[in-house]
Amino acid sequence: MSEQEKLRPSDAATRHLIRRLVEEPDRWALFLDIDGTLIDLATTPDAIQVPLSLPGTLDAVSARLRGALALVTGRSLPYADGLFAPFRFPIAGLHGAEFRGADGETSIVTQTPAFTALKQRLVEQTAWMEGVLIEDKGAAVAAHYRLAPAYDTALETMMRHLADEAGPDWVLQPGKMVFEIRPARADKGDAVASYLEEPAFAGRLPITIGDDLTDESMFALANARGGQSIRVGSLSTATCALAKASSPSAIRSALATIATAHEQRAASAS
Ligand SMILES: O=P(O)(O)OC[C@H]1O[C@H](O[C@H]2O[C@H](CO)[C@@H](O)[C@H](O)[C@H]2O)[C@H](O)[C@@H](O)[C@@H]1O
Ligand SMILES: [Mg+2]
């Protein structure tokens, strides 16, 4: 089945979004989460599959919005870049703590020796938890239990203690089958607010699309600025997002439609 066919009746908000973006490309700025929004979830962090056409589609949508598109992710910035090579989109990584603007200027968080030691302790303390996977992201660390759901509570307690120990510069970030310790200096809402001050994004209304707890801060920001927010996934999940979408494939389908509309308009104008 092609991506174009995957919009369901519950994707009415997404259809509406396509129309708005096609008809008013100078009015909106688009902020996209990666895992669970652009890309289907997988059993482990490195098992994700980026559909071949996705990087080019994002580039075409970005061109349509005159560069007002950014990726806002829990992944590290270099990892996220690798997923969409050869393109280099504006990206906020580590849930908003790392930031590369539209002009390419980048701010990265350096890990302290104490945080490096804490990550090593986490690896040691979880060694007995078969199936628990530790993802080292530099100035953040994720403990995944998708392959070991029985360790949910034990892992949360351990991560809570370690986050307290890390001090006020780090916070615990729960997510889908994961507990993370991330830099406290900015969340995804702060990252979207920073983008909206950049020339490529300024004066536009934000549309934020995500699938998880970490995305709630950017939904709230978009709502407060008169924009739009869409949470991908189950219709019953509590969220402050104004609308829901059924799946990452529905989002990819919407983006492909916007990209194609752009190409069709460009062809008919020439
Ligand atoms: O903000 P995002 O771009 O959605 O990133 C959030 C986290 O995504 C990744 O973990 C999640 O996806 C994995 C791959 O599908 C899945 O195995 C895991 O259970 C999910 O929690 C990533 O590994 C994290 O670093 C991101 O923070
Ligand atoms: Mg996500």
How far does residue 269's CA lie from ligand 1's centre (Å)?
A: 41
227 Cβ closer than 6 Å to some ligand 1 atom: no
φ/ψ of 242, rounded to 5, equals -80, -20
Tokens of 84: 């969409």
With H, G, I as helix, E, B as strand and everything else as coil, classify residue 213: helix
Is the model's pLDDT at 10 over the cut of 70?
Answer: yes
pLDDT score of 1: 44
More confident of the two residues 45 and 5: 45
With H, G, I as helix, E, B as strand and everything else as coil, classify residue 162: helix
- What are the boundaries of each domain within the chain? 3-108+186-269, 113-183
With H, G, I as helix, E, B as strand and everything else as coil, classify residue 178: strand
Which CATH number among 3.40.50.1000, 1.10.3720.10, 3.40.50.300, 3.40.50.2020 corresponds to the domain 3-108+186-269?
A: 3.40.50.1000
Full-prediction pTM beyond 0.90? yes
**Average of per-residue pLDDT across 189-207:** 98
Give the residue whose CA is nearest to atom 25 of ligand 1: 75
Residue pair 188/206 in contact by the 8 Å Cβ criterion: no
Instruction: For residue range 238-247, list pLDDT tens digits in order.
Output: 999 999 999 9
Class of domain 113-183: alpha beta
Measured CA to CA in angstroms, residue 57 lies from 3, 136, 209, 258 at distances of 12, 30, 16, 9
Q: 48: burial class by Cβ within 10 Å (0-12, 13-18, 19+)?
A: middle
**What atom in ligand 1 is closest to the CA of residue 43?**
17
Residues in Cβ contact with 43 at an 8 Å cutoff, skipping those fewer than 6 apart: 146, 147
Residues in Cβ contact with 259 at an 8 Å cutoff, skipping those fewer than 6 apart: 56, 57, 60, 61, 64
φ/ψ of 120, rounded to 5, equals -65, -40
11 Cβ closer than 6 Å to some ligand 1 atom: no
pLDDT score of 264: 67
Q: Clarify whether 190 is annotated catalytic.
A: no
Instruction: For residue range 33-50, list pLDDT tens digits in order.
Output: 999 999 999 999 999 999
Percentage of the residues of the chain whose pLDDT score is greater than 70: 94
Instruction: For residue range 111-153, list pLDDT tens digits in order.
Output: 999 999 999 999 999 999 999 999 999 999 999 999 999 999 9
Residues in Cβ contact with 163 at an 8 Å cutoff, skipping those fewer than 6 apart: 170, 171, 172, 181
